[in-house]
Structure 1
Amino acid sequence: MYVERFEEQLLRGDAAERPRGPQYLSRFERWDDLASVRRRPRRRFAAGEVELYFPPELYPVVRHPLVAAKGSTVVKGLLLQRLYDYLEFTTELETLAVIPVATKISRGRSGLHLPGRMMSDAYKIVTDEAWHAQFSHEFTCEIEAETRVPWSLRGSCAPSAFLLRLDEIRGRLPHDLRGVEGLLFGIVSETLISGMLSEIPRDDRLPLSVRNIIRDHAEDEGRHHVYFRSLLTHLWPALGRAEREAVGPLIPEIIYAFLEPDYAQTACHLRDIGLSGEQIDQAITESWPTDRVQSGVAVAAAQLTRYLEEVGALRDKGTLAAFEEAGLLGSAYEMPGGIYTKVAR
């Protein structure tokens, strides 16, 4: 089993037979001086006079009349649970999605012919992401101890929605391409995550410690964004025509896997505050109407869509049709909630 795991590649086949990508320019030359794990102190939660735990604009269900009628204490509690969800999402994203991909890259098991410096930098990404997972977990524990309000989903057997969505996507790939969805999800998540992280630290309604821990994360993710954009320029040209035709139409689903709200998670919280099943469905549906979710995902993913266009991914008719059907080729709206939205006050 262990030798099999060692030999397993994310993209199967002989990497030496695939085309080489462009020149790689590292953004990690000053990693020892800039990485949060090297230079930032461990953030300690201090509630003080807390107005909000999480921006309500990013969790619109708390403004739904059925929820608002429960009172400000309930709303504040739901925003605390949303902060817990966000921290747990970070931990699961790093440990279960990004670190495994970066580890494979660092060990020369990506299936791509990558420059040595690019593989070396992947080790730094593994270190960064492990630190992000660790401080998110420890910060959750500190908040629970300080507020004496536990994360209501602790001990739940339900994984985050993005994991279930990725499993479904993987199951529809040809067997010899399973693994490439991990590379693509790494590219999607690492090029999009800075969108949310750049906004929250500016929201002075939140505890300073919350803003600081997210700011630390954001600074690291800026470097990761550049790295994974470069990875895309190596991945796409290396795929054969049949591989592109099989993988390309699934990219919109990978984008949605990352960006779409976790409705099941929200439903659990609404059940905890006493809403009925019918009320839960109403609150979720009306807080995240399909057209607004679609347009919001399109806005959040616009930069990544441009990167994909630059490498030629949208030249395939099937891929282009999938992007059009998913509404990812342009939108004038922003989604009020989900993973990524600018805070408008």
Structure 2
Amino acid sequence: MTEPLNDPASYPASWANRFTLGDWNTRASVRISDHAYQLPSDLGRQLETRHWFPPSFLPYLKHPAVKAAGSSIVHRLTANHLVYFLDYTTLLEHRIVNRSVETIVHNELGISIPPRMKTAALQLYTDEAYHALFSNTLAEQIADIYGMTDRPVMPQRIARLNALIDRTPDKHKALAWFLVGFVSETIIAKELLDVCRDTLVSSVQEMLRDHLADEARHSRYFCEVFHYLWLQLSCGQRTFTARLLLEILLVFFEVDERWLGESLCSASLSETSVAQILCDLTGPQAQRLRARSGASATLDAMKKAGFFDLPANRQLFYRAGLLDE
């Protein structure tokens, strides 16, 4: 087993210039973007050829009952999903990711924090606050168009992550917060990349592209910090990390059944159709398939850090269906 490296000087020389967000002053959206994220005046025309959210991300749109309901229902369901995603993003950035970043900024992880790592963490913290702002700005406009009054809701994922942290022993809490941020940032970067390939309403496209440009750097940063941290963890901390990472990953690919059921009902779908859609999406096999695909960047970062060099970790993730033997 690789022994923890407690002396930063013992790290590879190639790491000397890591742990940065690059030219943050001239690249971060909070510093340079001139987008106002206001819905376009020709919204009706755009919706003839564009989407609120990529239909390919919402497999239930292929259900016969949804297809039979027509384009206006599809627009409503994709708008519901986008607003939910934006409200979730606002909460995630403030209460999850930035709390994770605080463990780096304020030396809560019990490791030596290089100055570059801390500076980048503070920049990342600033980025995330801006992401929360522009997510909320856009969500409010879309919700007003469709008369969405029962929002924001507490997303199941946020509730589950908070519960996971709450039951974590105090000695591992800071590490748990970091790991949640690591998973979140590596997953969202891939998700945004895929989302931005679709043709969306112009202001939505602008916002998501600005978000993606930042998150691509954030993902790289969290991968590097995870590698740095993994090399210094004790045997007990590594065991805790392996089990928690698996649990976190699966939480990120659960379906929020309550919210999705309410969204489908708002489109006047029958109870039978709603139940069938939820059944198709919520089984354990469907969850594993989503995780294998959506967490590929996370799993790759873990592999590069040497996480899967430990046979017990490979077996754990193999048995969960997230890794090939």
Structure 1 residue identity aligned to 2:6:
P
Does 2:23 correspond to 1:30? yes
The offset of 1:277, in angstroms, is 5.0
Q: TM-score, normalised by structure 2?
A: 0.86
Matched-pair contact (CA < 8 Å) for 1:84–1:151: no
Query: Residue 195 of structure 2 corresponds to which residue in structure 1?
Result: 200
* Distance across 2 between alignment mates of 1:162 and 1:287: 15
Tell me by how many angstroms 1:213 deviates. Answer: 0.5
User: Residue type matched to 1:111 in 2?
Assistant: G
C-alpha contact (below 8 Å) 2:103/2:178 kept by paired residues: no
Residue equivalent to 1:252: 246
Q: CA deviation at 1:316?
A: 4.0
State how far apart, in whole Å, the 2-side matches of 1:249 and 1:317 are. Answer: 14
- Consecutive unaligned residues in structure 2, runs of 5 or more: none
- The 8 Å contact of residues 74 and 273 in structure 1, kept in 2 or not, is answered as yes
Q: State yes or no: 1:63 paired with 2:62.
A: yes
Counterpart residue number, 1:19: 6
- Counterpart residue number, 1:165: 160
In structure 2, do the counterparts of structure 1 residues 245 and 254 end up closer, same or farther at CA, with 3 Å as the change threshold? same
Aligned to 1:40, which of 33, 44, 50? Answer: 33
Evaluate the alpha carbon distance shift between residue 233 and residue 323 of structure 1 in structure 2; reply closer, same or farther with a 3 A threshold: same
Secondary structure, aligned partner of 1:193:
helix
Structure 2 vs 1, CA of residues 18 and 264 (structure 1 numbering), >3 Å: closer, same or farther?
farther
Provide the aligned C-alpha RMSD in A. 2.4
Q: Which residue of 2 is the match for residue 266 of structure 1?
A: 260
Partner of residue 148, structure 2:
151
Residue pairs, 1:43-54, within 5 angstroms: 43-46=37-40, 47-49=43-45, 50-51=47-48, 52-54=51-53
Unaligned runs of 5+ in 1: 1-16, 332-345
Paired with 2:108 and 2:174, the residues of 1 have a C-alpha distance of 11
1:288 Cα offset (Å): 5.4
Decide which moves more: 321-330 or 32-41: 321-330
Shift of 1:58: 0.5
Write the distance in 1 (CA, Å) between the matches of 2:234 and 2:80.
45
Q: 1:234-262 CA deviation, whole Å, 9 max, x = no partner?
A: 22122211121123122122112223332
Determine which of 290, 294, 304 is the counterpart of 1:296. 290
**Where does residue 176 of structure 2 map in the other structure?**
181
Tell me how far 1:65 sits from its aligned partner. Answer: 2.1
| Amino acid across the alignment from 2:291 | V
- How much does 1:26 deviate? 4.1
Number of aligned residue pairs:
310
Listed one character per residue, the Cα deviations across residues 253-291 of structure 1 (whole Å, up to 9, x for unaligned) are 211222333232211212323445554231112245543
TM-score, normalisation: structure 1: 0.82
Q: Aligned partners of 2:272, 2:258: CA distance in 1, in Å?
A: 14
State how far apart, in whole Å, the 2-side matches of 1:181 and 1:153 are: 32
Task: Report the alpha carbon displacement of residue 168 of structure 1 after superposing the two structures with TM.
Answer: 4.0
Corresponding letter in the other structure for 1:73: S
Q: Secondary structure at the match of 1:130?
A: helix
Measured after TM superposition, the shift of residue 115 of structure 1 is: 0.2
Which string of whole-angstrom CA distances, capped at 9 and with x for unpartnered residues, describes residues 200-251 of structure 1?
33322x2111111100000011111111011101221222111211231221
Contact 2:91 2:132 in 1 (8 A): yes
Alignment of 1:68-83 (within 5 A): 68-83=67-82
Partner of 1:136: 135
Q: Is the 8 A contact 1:114 1:234 kept in 2?
A: no
Return the alpha-carbon distance in structure 2 between the equivalents of residues 248 and 227 of structure 1.
Answer: 20
Cα separation, 1, equivalents of 2:108 and 2:44: 48
State whether residues 233 and 311 of structure 1, in contact with CA within 8 Å, keep that contact through their aligned partners in structure 2. Answer: yes
CA distance in structure 2 between the partners assigned to 1:110 and 1:298 by the alignment:
28
Counterparts of 2:174 and 2:65, CA distance in 1: 43
Note closer, same or farther for the CA distance 1:327–1:153 as it changes in structure 2 (3 Å cut).
farther
User: Which one-letter code corresponds to 2:300 in the other structure?
Assistant: R
Secondary structure at the counterpart of residue 199 of structure 1: helix
* Shift in alpha-carbon separation, 1:175–1:319, aligned structure 2, 3 A: farther
The whole-number CA distance in structure 2 between the counterparts of 1:71 and 1:175 is 52
